[in-house]
Amino acid sequence: MAIGRRDDGGEVWRGKPYLEMSEYTPMMERHGFLHYPGEFWHYNKGDALYHLMTKSGQVSGYGPVHWIHRRAR
């Protein structure tokens, strides 16, 4: 998924094209995102893992997901 800018909807340039997922692609840390060390393409901000890794002592800004799987009929 490409990262878009709110102001004009354009793609945020990450140093390589959208489908380039490698160590050459910056992890958006300068914008407050936290790079997940186990996956170079994974970054987050404000979720439970973010607060755990930064030792902020805060709770996640996101609640649990209540997902009910229903079979198609």
| 8 within a domain of the structure (yes/no) | no
Number of domains present in the structure of the chain? 1
> What is the model's pLDDT at position 57?
92
DSSP state for residue 29 in the 8-state scheme = G
- Burial grade of 9 (CB within 10 A; 0-12, 13-18, 19 or more): exposed
Q: What is the pLDDT of residues 46-67, one digit of tens each?
A: 888 888 888 999 988 877 777 7
| 10 within a domain of the structure (yes/no) | no
| 31 within a domain of the structure (yes/no) | yes
Segments forming the whole domain that contains residue 31: 23-61
Q: What is the DSSP string of 32-52?
A: T-EE-TT-TT-EESSSHHHHH
| 72 within a domain of the structure (yes/no) | no
| 18 within a domain of the structure (yes/no) | no
Task: Give yes or no for a contact between 13 and 5, defined as CB atoms under 8 angstroms apart.
Answer: no
| 69 within a domain of the structure (yes/no) | no
